[in-house]
Amino acid sequence: MTDNSSELGSRILPSWRDGSTRRAIVDFVESVAGDGDGAVPVEERVAVFDNDGTLWTEKPMPTQLHFIVQQWVAAARADPSLAENEPYRSVAAQDFSWLGAAIDKHYAGDDADLHLIIAALLKLTAGMSVVEYESDVDEFYRTAQHLTLGRPYSSVVYQPMVELLRYLEANGFTCYIVSGGDRDFMRPMTVANYGIPPERVIGSAVGLEYADGEVRYGTTFGFLDDGPEKPVRIWSRIGRRPLVAVGNSNGDVPMLRYVQKHPRSLSLLIHHDDDTGRGDLPYDKGAEEALASADADGLTVVSVRDDWASVFPA
């Protein structure tokens, strides 16, 4: 890469430190968006991003889980008998270790506790219209603050990733969010936080029904958009194999591998190794398999500590 290209990367990705990772990103984008032999038609330039832990912080718990916990606490207060079972027992006691362990077990391939979470989640939304749910989510985003950083969730997006979204779009890419999180929980905030419209948000979903002129949530879970389900949903929603995929966990590995079947591809794995005291503590939990196989899988590992000059918006 030339010195001029390095300077260009610095201007375009100001929150990224100059190094092999940023140069790999800029070299790849310049090659597929340029006029050379490696150029890819603009309609094929698709990029997919995980959300929690990739576009914004997911610790001490994913944002949606914070939203759900508030509702479970209210439900347990209204019906104390609920607190005899999980997940109500833990949230009523303000002990979130069981919930954290359930998420970790999911990433390790054990979904027994996740099924309890989903069952409790379905009780919250059964019969609710999608419009009512969107209003509740909007209110949460307006008022809630990150549990440990004490700042609005809109300010705990990862600034380097927002810059990457803009850089890709400036070079003809269409960017999608592909997350294990609830599609309808993400949609109300993706335009303001990421510049991604709701029709380009792919996520897990509760079954929907139509009644009385409204689309409402049913009593069954549609699908969990994680692991091998991610490539399936990418194809069913986009109809193209992306060139770029970005994730941070074991559940993102199938998506990161899926794009590599394209003749031109870039797979980025965000590694939360930051121990510099900026409020986003290091962790490998839930990403052990992805990190261990990164070299063999041809993943470009993004070090939060070494590759990002800043983490959150100023």
Is the domain of 246 the same as that of 279?
A: yes
161 lies in some domain: yes
CATH of the domain at 220: 3.40.50.1000
312 lies in some domain: no
Q: What pLDDT does residue 36 have?
A: 84
313 lies in some domain: no
314 lies in some domain: no
Examine the fold and report which residue of 120, 143, 166 is the final residue of a domain before the chain moves on.
143
Is the domain of 180 the same as that of 31?
A: yes
Q: What is the pTM assigned to this prediction?
A: 0.91
pLDDT digits (tens, 9 = 90+) for 292-307: 999 999 999 999 999 9
Q: What pLDDT does residue 281 have?
A: 79
Per-chain mean pLDDT for the chain: 92
Q: What pLDDT does residue 87 have?
A: 93
Q: What pLDDT does residue 4 have?
A: 44
Tell whether the model's pLDDT for residue 132 goes beyond 90.
yes
Q: What pLDDT does residue 10 have?
A: 52
Closest CA to 241 of 48, 88, 31, 2: 48
Examine the fold and report which residue of 79, 113, 143 is the final residue of a domain before the chain moves on.
143
Is the domain of 136 the same as that of 267?
A: no
Q: What pLDDT does residue 170 have?
A: 97
Q: What pLDDT does residue 103 have?
A: 79
Is the domain of 207 the same as that of 176?
A: yes
Is the domain of 136 the same as that of 173?
A: no
Host domain of residue 93: 63-143
Q: What pLDDT does residue 93 have?
A: 87
Examine the fold and report which residue of 143, 174, 198 is the final residue of a domain before the chain moves on.
143
Is the domain of 112 the same as that of 233?
A: no
Is the domain of 178 the same as that of 281?
A: yes
Tell whether the model's pLDDT for residue 100 goes beyond 60.
yes
Tell whether the model's pLDDT for residue 137 goes beyond 80.
yes
pLDDT digits (tens, 9 = 90+) for 167-215: 999 999 999 999 999 999 999 999 999 999 999 999 999 999 999 999 9
Is the domain of 51 the same as that of 130?
A: no
Q: What pLDDT does residue 249 have?
A: 95
37 lies in some domain: yes
Q: Across-strand partners of 269? A: 247, 301
Is the domain of 125 the same as that of 103?
A: yes
Of 8-22, 52-66, 274-288, the one with minimum mean pLDDT is 274-288
200 lies in some domain: yes
182 lies in some domain: yes
Domain count for the chain: 2
183 lies in some domain: yes
Is the domain of 137 the same as that of 261?
A: no
pLDDT digits (tens, 9 = 90+) for 139-162: 999 999 998 899 999 999 999 999
Is the domain of 222 the same as that of 129?
A: no
Is the domain of 81 the same as that of 209?
A: no
